[in-house]
Amino acid sequence: MRVFVEGVGLLGPGLSGWPAARSVLAGEEAFRFAPTIIVASDLLPPAERRRTPASVKLALAVGQEAFRSSGRDAAATATVFTSSSGEAETLHQMCETLASAEREVSPTRFHNSVHNAAAGYWSIATQSREASTSLCAFDASFGAGLIEAVTQIVFRRSPVALMAYDPPYPEPIHSARPLLASFGVALVLAHERGVKAFAAFELTFPTGGEKSTRMSDSALEELRLGTPAARGLPLLEAIARNKEADVVLDLPAGKPLRVKVSPC
Determine the pLDDT at residue 107: 84
Q: What total of structural domains would you count in the chain? A: 1
- In the three-class reduction of DSSP (H, G, I as helix; E, B as strand; rest coil), residue 75 is classed as helix
Cα gap 142→135, rounded to integer Å? 10
Q: For residue 238, what are the domain limits?
A: 2-263
User: What's the distance, CA 189 to chain centroid?
Assistant: 13
DSSP string, 44-68: S-HHHHHT--HHHHHHHHHHHHHHH
Determine the pLDDT at residue 172: 93
Query: Who's near 222: CB < 8 A, 6+ residues apart?
Result: 180
User: Which pTM value belongs to this model?
Assistant: 0.94
Element (H, E) at 152: helix 141-156
Determine the pLDDT at residue 222: 97
Asked whether 256 and 248 are in contact (CB, 8 A), the reply is: yes
The single-letter code of the amino acid at 6 is E
Asked whether 73 and 56 are in contact (CB, 8 A), the reply is: no
Phi, psi of 244 (to 5 degrees): -70, 135
136, with CB counted inside 10 A (0-12, 13-18, 19+), is: middle
Which CATH number does the domain housing residue 147 bear?
3.40.47.10
Determine the pLDDT at residue 56: 92
Per-residue tens of pLDDT for the chain, all 264 residues? 899 999 999 999 999 999 999 999 999 999 999 999 998 888 888 878 878 888 999 999 999 999 999 999 999 999 999 999 888 888 888 898 888 888 888 888 887 888 899 999 999 999 999 999 999 999 999 999 999 999 999 999 999 999 999 999 999 999 999 999 999 999 999 999 999 999 999 999 988 778 999 999 999 999 999 999 999 999 999 999 999 999 999 998 889 999 999 999
